[in-house]
Structure 1
Amino acid sequence: MKSLLFRLAGTFSAEIGSELYLKLKEETLSPSLFCLDFSEVEEVTEVGLEFIRKITERCKETGSHVAGFGLAAPVSEEVSSLLVLHPTEPDCIHYLESLILNETPANELTPKSEEKTIHCPECQTLLRWKLAGDYLCPSCKIKFFVNKKGWVSTYERLV
C-alpha cells in the first residue's frame, strides 16, 4: 500500500484544494494512505472545506485512508468531522498505519493455493511472486519491490 505525505501552506482554498484533489484522485487508483500537513496553513476557506469533503469521499470510495495534523487555524467542527486531525506528524502516521495492520494488502490476491499474486504498479498486469524482493514486470519492464506482506513499492527514475 502506497503512502504519501502532503505539506500544505498558506490559505487552503480553491487553488490548493483542487490541486490536492487532482493529485489524490490520480494516486487513488489503488488504495493508499495520505497524511496532510496543515502546520503552515493559515486559513481554510469554504471552498477549501468542500475540497476536504471531496477528498475524504474519494478516499472512502477507493479504500484509501486520509488524516491530517498540525492545523492551528480556526476551523469549523465540520472540518474535524470530515477529517481525522492529530496534533503531530508521528501521531498522524501511527493512526494511518494502525488502520492497515489487520488488513490484507489491496494489491495482493491470495488464491486458496499457496500461490501469491500482485498487480504491477505501472501496467496492472497480474504477476506471481513467492518471496519478498525486487521484481521486473515482463510487460512494461518497470522495477519494483515486494515486501513480505505483498505490498509493492516502485523505484523512482532519475532522468
Structure 2
Amino acid sequence: MKSLLFRLAGTFSAEIGSELYLKLKEETLSPSLFCLDFSQVEEVTEVGWEFIRKIVERCRETGSKVAGFGLGITVPDENFQLLTLFPTESECIHYLESQIISETPANELTPKSEEKTVHCPECQTLLRWKLAGDYLCPNCKIKFFVNKKGWVSTYERLV
C-alpha cells in the first residue's frame, strides 16, 4: 500500500484544495495512505473545507485512509468530523499505519452480503469475485489477479 505525506502551507483555499484533490484522486486508483501536514497552514477558507470534505469522501470510497496533523486554527463545528486530526506527525503516521493491519483487504468494501467485491485497479469499477485467480475488468479490459485475501495485483504491460 502506497503512503504519501503532503506538506501544506499558507491559505488552504480553492487553488490548493483543487490541486490536492486532483492529486489524491489520481493516487487513489489503488488504496493508499495520505498524511496531511497543516503545520504551515494559516487559514482554511470555506471552499478549502469543502475540498477537505471531498478528499475524505474520495478516500472512503476507494479504501484509502487520510488523516492530518498540526492544524493550529479553530475548526468550525460543521467541519469537526471531516478529517481525523492529530497534534504531531508521528501520531498521525502511527494512526494511518494502524489502519492497514487488518484481515480485510484495503481495497475491498464491506459487502452487504456474503458476496466478495474488489475495485478494478484501473477504473475503480466495483467487481464481484468468488475464487482467487485472474480476472478481466468488463469496463476497461485490464487484466488483474485477485489472491485469496482479496488483494489485487495488476500485470505490467511490456512495450
Partner of 1:76: 76
TM-score by length of 1: 0.69
* Alpha-carbon distance change, 53 to 97 in structure 1, aligned in 2, over 3 angstroms: same
TM-score by length of 2: 0.69
* Alpha-carbon distance change, 11 to 140 in structure 1, aligned in 2, over 3 angstroms: same
CA distance in 2, matches of 1:26, 1:10: 23
Aligned length: 131
**CA apart distance, 1:80:** 2.8
Q: Is there any run of 5+ residues in structure 1 with no aligned partner, and where?
A: 118-123, 130-136, 143-159
CA distance in 2, matches of 1:95, 1:61: 19
CA distance in 2, matches of 1:128, 1:140: 18
Confirm whether residue 126 of structure 1 aligns to residue 144 of structure 2.
Answer: yes
Q: Is there any run of 5+ residues in structure 2 with no aligned partner, and where?
A: 109-117, 119-129, 135-141, 148-154
Amino acid at match of 2:90: P
Amino acid at match of 2:26: E
More divergent stretch after superposition (99-108 vs 67-76)? 99-108
Secondary structure of the residue aligned to 2:11 is strand
CA contact (8 A) 1:37 1:69 kept: yes
* Alpha-carbon distance change, 99 to 29 in structure 1, aligned in 2, over 3 angstroms: same
**CA apart distance, 1:141:** 4.3
Confirm whether residue 140 of structure 1 aligns to residue 147 of structure 2.
Answer: no
Partner of 1:94: 94
Taking the TM superposition and a 5 Å limit, the aligned residue runs for 1:3-42 are: 3-42=3-42
Partner of 1:54: 54
Q: Which runs of 4+ in 1 moved over 6 A?
A: none
Confirm whether residue 45 of structure 1 aligns to residue 45 of structure 2.
Answer: yes
Amino acid at match of 1:126: F
C-alpha distance after superposition, 1:91-132 (max 9, x if no partner): 0011111111114444699x86xx788xxxxxx643599xxx
**CA apart distance, 1:26:** 0.5
* Alpha-carbon distance change, 141 to 48 in structure 1, aligned in 2, over 3 angstroms: same
Q: Percent identity?
A: 70
Instruction: Indicate the RMSD between aligned Cα atoms, in angstroms.
Output: 3.1
